[in-house]
Structure 1
Amino acid sequence: MQDFEKAHPKIKVDMTVQPWDTIQQKLPSAWLTGQGPDVAAVSSDPNAVAQYVKTNSVLPITMTGSGDSKINTAQFAPGTVDEFTYDGKLYGVPANFATLSLYYNKKLFQEAGITNPPTTVQEMAADAKQLTTGGKYGIALADNQTIQMWPVLQWLEGGDIVTGKGCSAVQTSASKQGLETWGDLVAKDGVSPVGLTGAEADSLFSAGKAAMEINGPWAASGYESAGIDLGIVKVPVGVDGKSSTLGSIAPLSISAKTKYPEQAQQFLAYWTSKTAQQKFSLQTGFPPLRTDLSDDAKLQADPTVSVFASQVGDARLYLPHVENATKVDSDAYVPMIGKITRGTSVADATKEAASTIDGLTGCSK
């Protein structure tokens, strides 16, 4: 904030940090009645922007273009502009951007006789089995109350959850094959405990009881403090030979009733600028939200940031622009994974999930 105010001496920024629950509870009514902040990270769910658009509570962003004085959307991570665009108008920018990488325990790999971390999803599956020994698990796979680990596995196996038209994709042959592969690894081979929450998966890896975990940059310092002989690498490439990982974002939007629309957009331009994103990334360990910083020398010099930054261009958003996305996840996808890992056939689990997804999205095939 100090850098922005120094560059814009006539603008003062007062910042308040609040929990997501508080923001998501109070901000909708505040903005609807012309109260609340001029700019806010409106939710941890990027799809929440749609609700603010429906109530005319957010300001369309027009100060776009090249250079640090404008909001350079051409350099944003893949999918982020589309995620915040409705009827051709942009209503938000990423407040931050995080990719997922593969964390691995070097000591457990060495004990299992595995020299290098996996570079393909097939190697990751084989390693998970080999590393499951002596009371230790090959991988900590959370399926509820978590950052999305299972969707990454589906993408790597060539599958998906929802099509571009908002219809279920869990019954495609590629989706079912991927769910079969990883479902069997958990249910039959025991490579991960069943039903882990995100916090439980983190604790398992932190305690040295799991050899791998797919996680974001926020986890690195905690694992290092726990004494894990930590390695972090890109998520292995999928069956098509291409990289794919999750991109996690929170939307930063402007109140439609702000008295300072120009100044608010100037702040968004600063926040998403190359200069600010480089500084933010180095201070937090998060990758920048811009693709033109992936090869930045200062970021490359940081062993943690460099891995996450290198995957910005490969990142995908989870259920972007999907109607009732939160319910698609909670009412269809999470229960489907829970059933498969507990022995329900993939055919039965995906059939039920597909019906629920199509009902929630309004798909008519």
Structure 2
Amino acid sequence: MRSSLKIGTALVAGILLATGCGSTATSSDPDAVVELSLWTGFTGPDRPAYENLVKQFNASHPKIKVTMDVQPWDAIAQKLPGAWATGQGPDLATPNFDPGVLFNYVKTNSLLPLDEAVGTGDGKLNAGTFPAAVNTAFTIDGKLYAAPANMATLVLYYNKAMFAEAGLQEPKTADEFTAAAKQLTKTEGDKVTQYGISLADHATIQMWPILQWMNGGDIVDAKGCATIAQPASVQALTTWADLVVKDKVSPIGQTGADADTLFSAKKAAMEINGPWAAAGFKEAGIDLGIAPVPVGAGGPVTLASTVPLAVGKSTKHKAQALEFLSWWTGKTAQAAFSDASGFPPVRTDVTSSNPVVAPFAAGLPHARLYLPGLPTSPKIDADVYVPLIGKITRGEPVEAAARSAAEAINQITGCTA
């Protein structure tokens, strides 16, 4: 579930046709099976859970067949904008794991509003059961444009064996967290043989905002004005940049995949990640601990993640696509998906029987979305926030870098406050 948030430009029609996109033509035969195409970026260890959910839908809806085409997130980002903008492409898709990209698709009139499907009971999209943050992220100009393909929070994964060897317990406070990161880092001369934590700064679901939130800091306020240069954020960024630069608690410049690989290889003692990573870590033979993100001055907090599942406006099978979304987010499907995947259900009225889900579900009440509700969030992430973390983890003074970042964010959002 990790990748860049950039959205590519439209491809030429010949390339679009070569991808095999587009709906099956409507048939006059009432017994004909309607075929729906679905593009997703779920290439990780959680992929089978999504595929099984599609299989369950197809088995229970004999007149509708959904085919899920799994592609890397960056491939979808390159192909989907042009495909949907030109009336081609799949019936349904998860455009990106960043809800902010929905604004781009609304601008090109590429998304089908879902409001007519919203309601209660079977066969309806029961948006009232989605977490409030989800509906806020998926609603633009008063219209709902996506349903949640999943819902997740990030937790602290840790290697129990490494902690036991160091005589440490699960960190519960921010001070214990930073102390553990330092103590669990081992070196031989100038070479690091074990990192205290594996942090990523690009091509990833963001980890660094959590470190700011823990201390009461943030990136922007509700009006889109930068807060990243305020004292709480500068203090948090300084603490963690120093840990990386001076104490070498994590490698510099890791992608999300790099960070996962390092932890899986038992070369790092901790990583902040979501439920999609649990299966892979366990398969790697790690004596795995899963804990809430430690609590700092800002109180309990973590990052919420939700992937939008949207319908292309040009679909020839609107009714069937909406039926799929309603089923996907229904009680039965969400209970089955949560049990199989380890993700919390996307509905607040469903409880999973999978014990792995508990720590992720426990984080929902205080989880926050990254740069929520901002049409410029992809640009802020790619052009400002990711470069900022890259600079300060390579030794650039934090306060000056944060001031420059704040100016750049305000230029992007148009904030004049």
State TM-score, norm by structure 2.
Answer: 0.80
- For 2:306, the aligned partner's letter is I
Summarize the alignment of residues 1-365 of structure 1 with structure 2, pairs less than 5 Å apart. 1-5=54-58, 7-62=60-115, 63-114=117-168, 116-134=169-187, 135-242=193-300, 244-293=301-350, 296=351, 298-299=353-354, 302=355, 304-365=356-417
Distance 1:157 1:8, change over 3 A: same
Structure 2: 5+ residue stretches without partners: 1-53, 188-192
- For 2:72, the aligned partner's letter is P
Match of 2:27 in 1: none
Distance 2:75 2:242 in 1: 40
Report the Cα offset of residue 348 of structure 1.
Answer: 0.7
> Contact (CA 8 Å) 2:103, 2:375: kept in 1 or not?
no
Distance 1:339 1:18 in 2: 31
Report the Cα offset of residue 70 of structure 1.
Answer: 1.7
Distance 2:82 2:281 in 1: 39
Distance 1:297 1:79 in 2: 20
- For 1:148, the aligned partner's letter is Q
- For 1:54, the aligned partner's letter is K
- For 1:105, the aligned partner's letter is N
- For 1:29, the aligned partner's letter is G
Report the Cα offset of residue 5 of structure 1.
Answer: 4.3
> Contact (CA 8 Å) 2:95, 2:308: kept in 1 or not?
yes
Distance 1:88 1:125 in 2: 43
Report the Cα offset of residue 184 of structure 1.
Answer: 2.0
Distance 2:311 2:254 in 1: 37
Distance 1:335 1:33 in 2: 33
Distance 2:399 2:70 in 1: 45
- For 2:106, the aligned partner's letter is V
Identity %: 56
Distance 1:199 1:23, change over 3 A: closer
Report the Cα offset of residue 52 of structure 1.
Answer: 1.6
Distance 1:190 1:12, change over 3 A: closer
> Contact (CA 8 Å) 1:77, 1:313: kept in 2 or not?
no
SS at match of 1:247: strand
- For 2:242, the aligned partner's letter is D
Distance 2:397 2:70 in 1: 45
> Contact (CA 8 Å) 1:99, 1:312: kept in 2 or not?
yes
- For 1:191, the aligned partner's letter is V
- For 1:20, the aligned partner's letter is W
SS at match of 1:96: coil
Distance 1:257 1:359 in 2: 35
Distance 1:159 1:240, change over 3 A: closer
> Contact (CA 8 Å) 2:200, 2:259: kept in 1 or not?
yes
Report the Cα offset of residue 153 of structure 1.
Answer: 0.8
Deviations 1:253-295 (A, max 9, x none): 11223333233222111111121111112222333222333xx
Aligned residues: 358
- For 2:358, the aligned partner's letter is S
SS at match of 2:69: coil
Distance 1:27 1:351, change over 3 A: same
Report the Cα offset of residue 6 of structure 1.
Answer: 5.1
Moved more, 191-200 or 206-215: 191-200
